[in-house]
Amino acid sequence: MVLAAAIARGQAARSLKDAYQEFFRIGAALNQAQFEERDPRGNPIIAAQFNTISPENALKWQSLHPRPDGYDFAAADRYVAFGEKHGMFIVGHCLVWHSQTPQWVFQDTEGKPLTREALLDRMHEHIRTVVARYKGRIGGWDVVNEALNDDGSMRQSPWYRIIGEDYILKAFEFAHEADPQAELYYNDYSLENQAKRKGAVDLIRRVKAAGAPITGIGLQGHMKLDQPDARQEAETIEAFAALGIRVNISELDVDILPRTAPRDSADISATAAVNAQSNPYTNGLPEEMQQALAKRYAELFAVFVQHRDVIGHVTFWGVTDGDSWLNNFPTRGRTNYPLLFDREGKPKPAFDTVVSKATSTRTPVR
């Protein structure tokens, strides 16, 4: 009876943000057409379902600051205005990353590598300009994205090679100086894997000890159907919460296609060629796979709900399956099904299991 009532309530609540209101915010990464309200399929879903947004590409260095002497804020301004219009918690992604960052950032006018001081100045100027522009409007920033290798060691990015490990500390200081109220996150993928998680926990301990104003971690959450398992996910959330920071799931999706990349990674430079075996569902997703995805999402949200006290938001990396970057990563031109809404914008069985996970957890109304 209790279960039946819960399921009935789950089916009645058709919005993710309402279902999860008592627990954490639910979000989606938006592409440009979406925050410019030019996506007739996606826009009604976004307005109805989500109370936080992330910019899929619009706030990356190469989008905002393509030339040494110039910023282009037009798209980013529209992104922030969209979030405000809908009363959403607005996330900024991302300030310091090795990817989608122009080469000139690391070079002087003659193309030679910058000195540590010059690169720190450039980073400071970028962070100050961008964060101050949206002060009090963007509520949380991915300050540093993907600073670690899969084995937990520091990625040898130009930031690291030129400045040293304290580029991370400095990035947080600069962001905090520009908007002292904003939440500031470290964001990375595969943190569920033991070695990388340990590297991240140690890194956060070090930068916190040095005084970095970090408030949270983004577990990107680019999942497979079978990996990471629920226990790993729970342990990961607990490991970061134990450091006294909030945990967000910042880029959630579930890749259901056969693996083509050599490593278990969300490294966007790792691409592989497409073939029929690696792209089996071009004509639709078989029912058993649909159910497997629904079960997988139920399992993940059970863990998130259990850890609701430390989770700020859970954000999907895209709105409908057709939008997802996983149609082109790690292999271009495949048909993937990683999200809760299908290519026509209809909620999938996974949507129902996610909604009922929330409703069945609530204290029953007498």
The residues annotated as belonging to the active site are: 146, 251
3-state helix, strand, coil in the chain (%, to 5): 40, 15, 40
Q: How many residues does the chain have?
A: 366
Residue from 21, 32, 57, 335 binding ligand XIL (CB under 6 A):
57
320 binds ligand XIL (CB under 6 A): no
Other C-beta atoms lying within 10 Å of the C-beta of residue 366: 3
Q: How open is the CA angle 219-204-101, to the nearest 5 degrees?
A: 65
| Amino acid identity for residue 333 in this structure | G
| Amino acid identity for residue 93 in this structure | H
- SS3 state at 201: helix
Q: Supply the minimum distance, in Å, between the C-beta of residue 255 and ligand XIL.
A: 12
With CB under 6 A as the rule, give the number of residues binding ligand XIL.
8
Toward ligand XIL, which CB reaches closer, 127 or 326?
326
220 binds ligand XIL (CB under 6 A): yes
Query: Which residue number is nearest to ligand XIL in terms of Cβ?
Result: 325
**For residue 270, which of 194, 322, 223, 332 has the smallest C-alpha distance?**
332
CB 232 within 8 A of CB 202: no
Per-residue contact track with ligand XIL, 272 to 311, x per CB under 6 A?
----------------------------------------
Toward ligand XIL, which CB reaches closer, 6 or 219?
219
Q: Supply the minimum distance, in Å, between the C-beta of residue 218 and ligand XIL.
A: 8
39 binds ligand XIL (CB under 6 A): no
- Cβ neighbours for 208, distance < 8 A, ≥ 6 positions apart: 214, 243, 244
Per-residue contact track with ligand XIL, 235 to 274, x per CB under 6 A?
----------------x--------------x-x------
145 binds ligand XIL (CB under 6 A): yes
Q: Supply the minimum distance, in Å, between the C-beta of residue 333 and ligand XIL.
A: 14
- Cβ neighbours for 121, distance < 8 A, ≥ 6 positions apart: none
75 binds ligand XIL (CB under 6 A): no
CA distance 265 to 190: 7
Q: Which positions lie near ligand XIL, rule CB under 6 A?
A: 56-57, 145, 220, 251, 266, 268, 325
